[in-house]
A and B are shown apart, each in its own frame.
Chain A
Amino acid sequence: MSEKRLIWFHGRECPHCRKLAPMVDQFEAESGIKLERLEVWHNEENATFMRSLAGSIAPACGGDLGVPAFYNEITGKAICGQVDMEKLVAWARG
């Protein structure tokens, strides 16, 4: 069975994703936890995978799928939009 992942869905031309990138880098460096980064506008496989999780992610994004979005495969919890470090850590810890 494959290992459960912490996933960051992002878009190459999404300004919020760009702004979040340094914070995600910092989170990974400080926590030692690596996020799986999946780009969804230029990779259809990633987009299809994200759509399959719409039931969990869309409500966190205000009703529609959007990026940046974070999905925890262990807890099934999603957070979406311009999140802060505190929220990201809480999401990762479940």
Chain B
Amino acid sequence: MKILWRCHVCNDIHLGNKAPEVCPTCGTRNAFVLSDMNEAIGIMGKNHPVIDTKQNVVTAWKQFSDQSPTIRLTDKIDEIELLSKGVLENLKNKGQRYCPCRITTGDRQMDLNLICPCNFLRQSVFKETGECWCGLFIKRDVK
């Protein structure tokens, strides 16, 4: 069944069976979360606000986590707080919500992999430990 998906970075809307891996507008990977008609209508034709507050960042992370059968957001509130502050600092200083535990290369294409939630599913540390590099997202079967 075709359903609506929303890129939590730039609010692109996609209708399809699967979420696109890479957002065609902003280039972010693994950024699509489940959406619905009401949300899509609310976004279309409007200047949608950028996700540039702590509350909106955490909401986007929760949506990303809720729509995944395999990963969840950490329950460590202090780490969520610190990391959301970090990605907002990076948005302000570097122009994107980069992971505060990685470091940009200066190559835009490569750095798109560092926008949180990053492409951690492919990273060796996630395969070995069941956590993204920051410990923000965790495999559901890992305690």
Q: Is A bound to B?
A: yes
Q: Which of A14, A50, A64, A65 meets B86, CB within 8 Å? A: A14
Determine whether A79 belongs to the interface, using a CB cutoff of 8 Å to chain B: no
Q: In chain B between 93 and 130, which residues have their CB closer than 8 angstroms to a CB of chain A?
A: 93, 100-106, 113-114, 123-125
- Which chain A residue shows the least CB distance to B124? A62
Q: Which of A13, A42, A64 meets B83, CB within 8 Å? A: A13
- Residues of chain A within 8 A of B125, CB atoms compared: 62, 81
- Which chain B residue shows the least CB distance to A47? B103
Q: Is the CB of A15 within 8 A of B102?
A: no
Q: Is the CB of A66 within 8 A of B101?
A: yes
Q: Whole-angstrom distance between the alpha carbons of A6 and B26 in the complex?
A: 39
Q: Whole-angstrom distance between the alpha carbons of A61 and B83 in the complex?
A: 19
The A interface, classified by DSSP as helix, strand, loop or mixed, is loop
- Residues of chain A within 8 A of B52, CB atoms compared: none
Q: Is the CB of A67 within 8 A of B103?
A: yes
- Residues of chain B within 8 A of A63, CB atoms compared: 123-124
Q: Mark A17-34, 1 if CB is under 8 A from B, else 0.
A: 110000000000000000
- How distant is A13 from chain B, measured CB to nearest CB, in Å? 3
Q: Is the CB of A41 within 8 A of B103?
A: yes
Q: Is the CB of A64 within 8 A of B123?
A: yes
Given known A18-B82, A41-B90, A63-B123, contact A51–B101 (CB-CB < 8 A): no
Q: Which 6 A-B pairs have the closest CB atoms?
A: A13-B86, A13-B100, A65-B103, A62-B125, A15-B79, A14-B101
